[in-house]
Structure 1
């Protein structure tokens, strides 16, 4: 769900249901790293409400497009972290086979 001005596409508030600080703060971080973003912040309307509002204001680009780009960038970051972690687990298991056997006994 998106709230914004019909005359100014560079400002919008995105309302995400069933989300909390975890996603909202991550998206806010990525948006604030984008040079097209002038302002970005988020709020949770009420603690019992499972919803976050993310406000984005840009230098002129469509806030919707910038928001989509931020979500894509966040997905790429998460995939990189996951693959790096998986590789580190495999490397650890290969380098420490004897110690792992002793732990399991």
Structure 2
């Protein structure tokens, strides 16, 4: 069967960072955080907590593809 191994959804490969950070070059005070091996649960929790901060103008997340086990959180302050 062509299905990926189940452990690939949870175990971060050796040499890969769990969280990485990229500044947005188009918007001032904005960035993207890429969190490996996480899904909607963590994405929604982080997004809701960021919305509680009055300095945050935008916070959202997305899953790029169902077979890519990462989320991208975008924040603008």
Provide TM-score, normalisation by structure 2.
Answer: 0.68
Choose the corresponding residue for 2:46, options 23, 27, 38. Answer: 27
Structure 1 residue 5 displacement after superposition = 3.4
Summarize the alignment of residues 19-98 of structure 1 with structure 2, pairs less than 5 Å apart. 19-58=38-77
Which protein is richer in strand relative to its size? 2
Q: Which residue in the other structure is 2:23 paired with?
A: 4
| Aligned residues: CA RMSD | 1.7
Closer/same/farther in 2, CA of residues 46 and 7 from structure 1, 3 Å limit: closer
**Runs of 4+ with >2 A deviation:** 5-9
1:33 CA drift (Å): 1.0
2:52 pairs with 1:16: no
| Higher relative contact order, chain-length normalized (CA < 8 Å, sep 6+) | 2
Q: Number of aligned pairs?
A: 58
1:42 & 1:5 partners in 2: Cα distance? 15
Aligned residue for 1:101?
Answer: none
Distance in 1, Cα, partners of 2:27 & 2:66 = 31
Rg (Cα) greater in structure: 1
Alpha-carbon displacement from aligned partner over 1:11-59 (angstroms, at most 9, x marks no partner): 000000010000010000000111010000000000011100000000x
